[in-house]
Structure 1
Amino acid sequence: MNLGLRALLYTARKWKKTLLVFCLILSISTLVLSGLAIADAQEEQTEEVRGTTGASFTVQRDISTGGWSSGSGGSYSTQEFMTEDMIREIASVDGIQGYDASLITLPQIFNADGESLEHENYGFYNYGSYNSQYHELFLSGRFELVEGTHITDDMSNGIMISKELAEWNGLKVGDTLTGIYYPENNTPAVDMEIVGIFDVVADKEDQVNMYDDSSYYDYSSYVFCSMEAAEGLIKGWGEDGDGISEAYFYVADAAQLDNVIKDVQNISSINWNNYAITSNDEVYQNISSALSDTGTLITTLIIVITVVSMVLITLILFMSVRSRKRETGILLAVGIAKPAVVLQYLLETLLIAVPAFPLAYICSRQVAGALGTLFGKTAENVIVTPEHFMLVTIAGCILLIMAVLLSGIPAMRLKPRQILSQME
């Protein structure tokens, strides 16, 4: 009787053991295939987070390296301000998707009837802005646009106000406001149109207190206006003490933030002794840390399942070979070589695995989505691919071969007479 037929007849005769090994291989393969699909979905989610969350960095005057002077408005730092050319040069570095800058003024704002707007502070904390969507307060999630549009660099007289301020004063997008830096000093009046309204998502206590002028203003008193309008507010006033003090740069791929900052610091035309760079990637770091922990958990589970299962299969095969000592001894006694006997055991296992792997592929396509939801994935994003099937099939066959060889070592070390003498 040839080797293949003996293997086939044995698997049929020992159908209970065959069914046990089949179910075990099916279960293991299904779980591993599902785990690989979930791991891929996790990686895709990580890539998506890198592209959608992004990160930013701030370039601001380093007043610690500059001098101080006094004027009619009090003392002020003589450190050089940022220029528009400098900001645009930084924004041209590869990896930077957008930018904004801050020309801070503290104007009074009046409605169309000339009445001062009602709010909690004497004045307003106003950011002159190029592209307000890239301002640190919006990138960090503390502010959120709820109506209208952001300030853009092609606007000459746009202004954004808080939802709370709009409700207090009955204002809406399209209304006109007038800003005056110092009415008592006859500084220029600048007319501005409300283009957007933002909501304050974070409380004041959530802000990192920088101990500057903004610390005295409630978030509802913050406004953003076009850079051209901000420059118009300070005409004839504060030439020494007012200018663009900081700029924000948005990096689409948060994982490249450090590399982009290094490229920026290599710009030789900027005296970096006068400026400080601060990275702002807390949101990305928090999310990516959670995703990384989940990815590690998934990988660990796949490894644990594989190792434990292979140990279990090896034990089952070892017990099976041990129970077949008499058969093994007879086969060896009639002249069948040890490698042929081991090959028969291997064929028996592979005959069980051949239908188990394809069936596991079919089952995993149904199971993976449900398991993925336990890790926060949507079922449609957890997909078992043919590549996963090929990987599991090849790796599974290699592991099964190793298991058969290990389980057959004790019996194959004995001679036929020794094997038969141990039988009762």
Structure 2
Amino acid sequence: MKLGGIFMNCIKRGWLYTTRKKGKSFLLFCILFLIAVFVLSALAIDKASSLAQDNLRKSLGGEFTIGYDYSKDNPYLNVEAVDGGTIMYSTQQITPELVEEISKIKGIQYCSATTETLTAFSTIDFFKGNIPIEEEFRATTKILGVWKSEENKHFTSKQIKLVEGRHITPQDKGKVILSKDLAVKNRLKVGDILKTDKGIELEIVGLFQQSETESINEQVTSYDKIQNLMIADLATLIALENSPAIQGFNEMTVSISDPQSMQGIISSIKDIKTVDWKGFSIIENNENYDNATSSLQQISNLVSTFLIIIFIASVITLSLILTMWSRTRIHETGILLSIGIRKISIISQYITEVLLIAVIAFFLSYFPATIVADQVGSYLQSAPEQIETLEDTEGLVADNRSNTSNDETDTNVSMPDLDVQIQSEEMIMLFILGIGIVVISAGISSISTMRLKPREILTKMS
């Protein structure tokens, strides 16, 4: 008999058996239906968790900082006595050329290279801080030297926003950006020239507006106030300092689009041969991403474990039920063998019987699985947040803190919503796993009967 005929006979015999044994078929349908609901729900939650991690990774990004290595391992580290104190700097500094080369590496979004100094402007009326300072520093402010101001963390983090003029570029010399508030206070505008107490002239090329100022309770000096901050080009900082301590940038924060690519990017940076990396340290900062994805990773691990348990439990349950039923079909098996039907055809019939019911159960499981997956996903998402809230509350009670805060930037990132959907991909996976469960279970349940020889089966019949 041809293969097609054998297959059709298996389907025909399987259909006749399932329609004749309505009680057994209904029980098998219920079991397969429950299995399908659990498996389909788990697959949908697992996919939603993976998508949420991908979206979170892209939205948060990652960053690492390249700076001086202040340990004895840095052969370029210098310590000098200055005005009764000491100054520590590295003779190998971050050059604009190095920043440019690093910025071209694939996956890097921003390069916030900076250095800073205090500079006196006797002609400018600065905003006052709430920490008393010595007379000689009252007319000073912090000037931040940057590579490209638009890639500086103050701007990329939305702490400040350019509202007039243009950004600082690597080609600039003697250019500065200051706050809109400071400009209004001193009747300054874009294009005006500022002169430092050292006689260095700076042209105002842009004005920024800060998103917020320091709180009343925050202790800050006048030269550290965001409203007094000035942002200038590197050439200006070198001229202002006129010292080997500032001949380049001393720190660079590199922002990347995908935190998972951080190690590869760092390796690419260390492959740059124009720099002796013994003079620098690289510090990774993936805390936000790790904190935000930890709950999602827990959900993913939990779902994976659940799928394994469901698969094993389903195989065991189905195998036991089908084994018990197969023992009641010894007479039928003996007759089929006696008329020349092979054992493989009989096993195929048993598998077909279960598959006919499974196909219906799998399709009908779509609607309840959608509801179950959504409810379970919401619970799994809220559980870690409730635990974190409880821990935070206990911490506040233990620390006995007051309502005042230090106004530091909140680095806690809440877990994103799980968009649980059952699509064709999950249905295909359900059928693959379901067919696997059915084939394995039916195969196991048939071993006890199929290992017997036809004569032994006929003997058991008698």
Q: TM-score range by the shorter chain?
A: 0.7 to 0.9
AA paired with 1:420? M
Determine the structure 1 residue equivalent to 2:146: 129
Distance 1:138 1:17, change over 3 A: farther
Alignment of 1:390-405 (within 5 A): 390-405=428-443
Matches of 2:23 and 2:56 in 1, distance apart? 49
- The one of 300, 303, 308 aligned to 1:303: 308
- The one of 31, 40, 43 aligned to 2:38: 31
Unpaired runs of at least 5, structure 2: 1-8, 134-139, 382-415
**2:178, 2:204 within 8 Å by CA — same for their partners in 1?**
no
**2:145, 2:237 within 8 Å by CA — same for their partners in 1?**
no
AA paired with 1:294? I
Deviations 1:133-155 (A, max 9, x none): 7556788xxx7527666994349
AA paired with 1:197? Q
Deviations 1:17-64 (A, max 9, x none): 211211221222233223223222222222222322112222223344
Matches of 1:302 and 1:251 in 2, distance apart? 34
Distance 1:148 1:180, change over 3 A: closer
Matches of 1:233 and 1:340 in 2, distance apart? 86
Determine the structure 2 residue equivalent to 1:158: 177
Alignment of 1:363-402 (within 5 A): 363-365=368-370, 367-376=372-381, 378=417, 381-402=419-440
Determine helix, strand or coil for the equivalent of 2:243.
Answer: coil
Matches of 2:196 and 2:154 in 1, distance apart? 26
- Report whether the alignment pairs 1:17 with 2:24: yes
Determine helix, strand or coil for the equivalent of 2:115.
Answer: strand
- The one of 78, 85, 89 aligned to 1:67: 78
Q: What is the TM-score normalised by the length of structure 1?
A: 0.76
**2:162, 2:206 within 8 Å by CA — same for their partners in 1?**
no
Distance 1:367 1:188, change over 3 A: same
- Report whether the alignment pairs 1:102 with 2:114: yes
Determine the structure 2 residue equivalent to 1:221: 225
- Report whether the alignment pairs 1:272 with 2:283: no
Distance 1:117 1:186, change over 3 A: farther
**Greater shift after overlay, 360-369 or 315-324?**
360-369
Matches of 1:343 and 1:234 in 2, distance apart? 83
Matches of 2:288 and 2:195 in 1, distance apart? 35
Matches of 2:438 and 2:214 in 1, distance apart? 57
- The one of 76, 98, 116 aligned to 1:86: 98
Matches of 2:422 and 2:121 in 1, distance apart? 60
Determine the structure 2 residue equivalent to 1:420: 461
Alignment of 1:177-256 (within 5 A): 194-199=207-212, 221=225, 224-228=229-233, 232=236, 235=239, 237-243=241-247, 244-256=249-261
**2:314, 2:437 within 8 Å by CA — same for their partners in 1?**
no
Matches of 1:351 and 1:301 in 2, distance apart? 26
AA paired with 2:422? V
Determine helix, strand or coil for the equivalent of 2:125.
Answer: coil
Determine the structure 2 residue equivalent to 1:210: none
Q: How many pairs are equivalent?
A: 395
**1:144, 1:199 within 8 Å by CA — same for their partners in 2?**
no
**1:330, 1:416 within 8 Å by CA — same for their partners in 2?**
no
Instruction: Give the fraction of aligned pairs with identical amino acids, expressed as a percent.
Output: 26
Distance 1:52 1:133, change over 3 A: farther
Matches of 1:7 and 1:237 in 2, distance apart? 90
Matches of 1:323 and 1:57 in 2, distance apart? 68
Determine the structure 1 residue equivalent to 2:393: none
Structure 1 residue 317 displacement after superposition: 1.0
Structure 1 residue 407 displacement after superposition: 0.9
Structure 1 residue 13 displacement after superposition: 3.3
**1:58, 1:249 within 8 Å by CA — same for their partners in 2?**
yes
Structure 1 residue 285 displacement after superposition: 2.8
Distance 1:187 1:134, change over 3 A: closer
**1:160, 1:198 within 8 Å by CA — same for their partners in 2?**
no
Matches of 1:390 and 1:372 in 2, distance apart? 21
- The one of 42, 54, 62 aligned to 1:47: 54
Q: What is the TM-score normalised by the length of structure 2?
A: 0.70
Matches of 2:10 and 2:89 in 1, distance apart? 92
Structure 1 residue 160 displacement after superposition: 5.2
Deviations 1:239-286 (A, max 9, x none): 344352212221112111111111111212223233222222222233
**2:128, 2:221 within 8 Å by CA — same for their partners in 1?**
no
Structure 1 residue 312 displacement after superposition: 1.1
Alignment of 1:310-329 (within 5 A): 310-329=315-334
Matches of 1:148 and 1:56 in 2, distance apart? 23
Determine the structure 1 residue equivalent to 2:359: 354
Unpaired runs of at least 5, structure 1: 206-214
Give the CA RMSD over aligned residues: 4.1
AA paired with 1:115? D
Matches of 2:103 and 2:331 in 1, distance apart? 80
Structure 1 residue 400 displacement after superposition: 0.9
Matches of 1:136 and 1:146 in 2, distance apart? 9
AA paired with 1:92? K
Distance 1:219 1:87, change over 3 A: same
Deviations 1:316-367 (A, max 9, x none): 1112122334444555566655444433322321221232222234554555
